[in-house]
């Protein structure tokens, strides 16, 4: 066996191993969509996800999950003007615990509509019925060129930023007041945009690791069962406001995005992701489809090359 052949064999073997990475080890009630994960000061893990009233799940070990109820068990009528219905599903929450307080941003909209709003809820326990409505953070209408869904809070040196966006002109960044969680200015910075596949990019998350901010997005289409084509992409920047480039140096505002995780084996359309720094390193949290629904996936990420690799 020549060295070249051995190397090629090892490369194929490594690529094959990478391709068969499963959705981590998760058990219990994991039927989620657009999950976000928080870890509280006692070490309990919380997953919030899309649904009427926003779903809450807990785990003590990040493996076994139990559904504990809803953020809004009595409905959220303030979102009706954006969902276009009474007590419609609320989308893609984003959890951050700050000084023991849960900060949960979430969106209200309907499929294919720019009539969308992002709201903030807070709680000291995370439990159903404990949440206060902190009101509307920002909204869009068909007169905007972007769509106010899929919020994600990123804190950089005490400054708060919110990434958001879906289709249209892509992923944006806005400035928040840390004291209130509300907008501190109306400025909107472009972070990522595609023209391919109707500009299908959403579910942004910014994660700081080492000297880089990593902007993760979901490309292509969610929400079509086993026909879903979501895949997780990334770019990086030394500044939270960009410019972000992919591993080939292509600007994310020019359609760049390095693949992190796509459909493989029985795991269809992974996306709607969040990131968490845990004791065993950075964790990627996402949903994927099977023939019976959408489920929670959890994998560790290895950033040792400077780019995240699912392990």
Contact set with ligand NAG (CB under 6 A) = 224-227, 243, 245, 251, 253
d(CA 43, CA 57): 14
Min separation Cβ 234 and ligand NAG, Å: 16
Min separation Cβ 161 and ligand NAG, Å: 17
Query: How are beta strands 152-156 and 159-164 bridged, if at all?
Result: antiparallel
Closer to ligand NAG by Cβ: residue 96 or 221: 221
- Return the ∠ at Cα 224 (arms to 219 and 226), rounded to 5°: 95
Residue pair 96/155 in contact (Cβ under 8 Å)? The answer is yes
Min separation Cβ 227 and ligand NAG, Å: 4
Closer to ligand NAG by Cβ: residue 85 or 290: 290
Closer to ligand NAG by Cβ: residue 66 or 227: 227
Closer to ligand NAG by Cβ: residue 2 or 292: 292
Residue pair 48/59 in contact (Cβ under 8 Å)? The answer is no
Residue pair 208/187 in contact (Cβ under 8 Å)? The answer is no
What 3-state DSSP class applies to 117?
A: strand
DSSP 198-216: GG-EEEEEEEEETTEEEEE
For residue 301, give the H/E element and its range.
strand 293-302
* Known catalytic membership, residue 61: no
Reported as half-sphere exposure (CB side, CA atoms, 13 A), residue 310 has a value of 29
Closer to ligand NAG by Cβ: residue 155 or 223: 223
Closer to ligand NAG by Cβ: residue 93 or 170: 170
Choice among 34, 94, 220, 246 that is catalytic: 34
Each residue of 228-241: b (16+ CB within 10 Å) or e? bbbbbbbbbbeebb
Min separation Cβ 256 and ligand NAG, Å: 9
Residue pair 134/121 in contact (Cβ under 8 Å)? The answer is yes
Choice among 55, 94, 202, 220 that is catalytic: 202
Min separation Cβ 209 and ligand NAG, Å: 20
Radius of gyration, CA atoms only, the chain = 19
Closer to ligand NAG by Cβ: residue 144 or 251: 251
d(CA 311, CA 298): 10
**Which residue's Cβ lies closest to ligand NAG?**
225
* Known catalytic membership, residue 34: yes
Min separation Cβ 249 and ligand NAG, Å: 6
Min separation Cβ 159 and ligand NAG, Å: 20
What contacts 82, CB < 8 A, 6 or more positions away? 107, 108, 109, 110, 115, 116, 117, 139
Name the residues annotated as catalytic: 34, 202
């Amino acid at each position: 066996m020549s060295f070249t052949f051995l190397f090629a064999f090892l490369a194929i073997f490594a690529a094959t191993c990478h391709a068969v990475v499963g959705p981590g080890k998760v058990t219990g009630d994991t039927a989620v969509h657009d999950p976000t994960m928080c870890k509280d000061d006692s070490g309990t893990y919380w997953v919030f996800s899309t649904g009427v009233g926003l779903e809450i799940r807990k785990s003590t070990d990040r493996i076994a999950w139990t559904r504990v109820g809803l953020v809004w068990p009595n409905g959220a009528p303030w979102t009706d003007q954006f969902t276009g219905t009474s007590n419609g599903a609320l989308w893609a929450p984003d959890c951050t615990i700050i000084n023991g307080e849960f900060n949960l941003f979430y969106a209200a909209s309907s499929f294919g509509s720019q009539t969308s709003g992002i709201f903030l809820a807070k709680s000291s326990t995370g439990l159903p019925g404990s949440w206060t409505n902190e009101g509307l953070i920002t909204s869009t209408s068909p007169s905007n060129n972007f769509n106010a869904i899929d919020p994600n809070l990123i804190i950089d040196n005490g400054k708060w930023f919110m990434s958001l966006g879906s289709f249209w002109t892509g992923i944006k960044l806005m400035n928040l007041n840390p004291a209130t969680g509300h907008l501190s200015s109306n400025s909107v910075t472009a972070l990522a945009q595609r023209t391919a596949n109707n500009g299908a990019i959403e579910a942004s998350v910014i994660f700081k690791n080492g000297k880089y901010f990593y902007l993760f997005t979901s490309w292509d289409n969610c929400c079509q069962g086993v026909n879903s084509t979501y895949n997780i992409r990334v770019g990086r920047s030394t500044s939270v406001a960009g410019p972000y480039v992919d591993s080939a140096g292509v600007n994310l505002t020019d359609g760049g995005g390095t693949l992190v995780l796509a459909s493989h084996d029985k795991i269809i359309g992974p996306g709607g992701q969040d990131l968490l720094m845990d004791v065993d390193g950075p964790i990627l949290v996402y949903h994927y489809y099977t023939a019976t629904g959408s489920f929670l996936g959890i994998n560790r990420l290895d950033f040792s090359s400077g780019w995240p690799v699912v392990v």
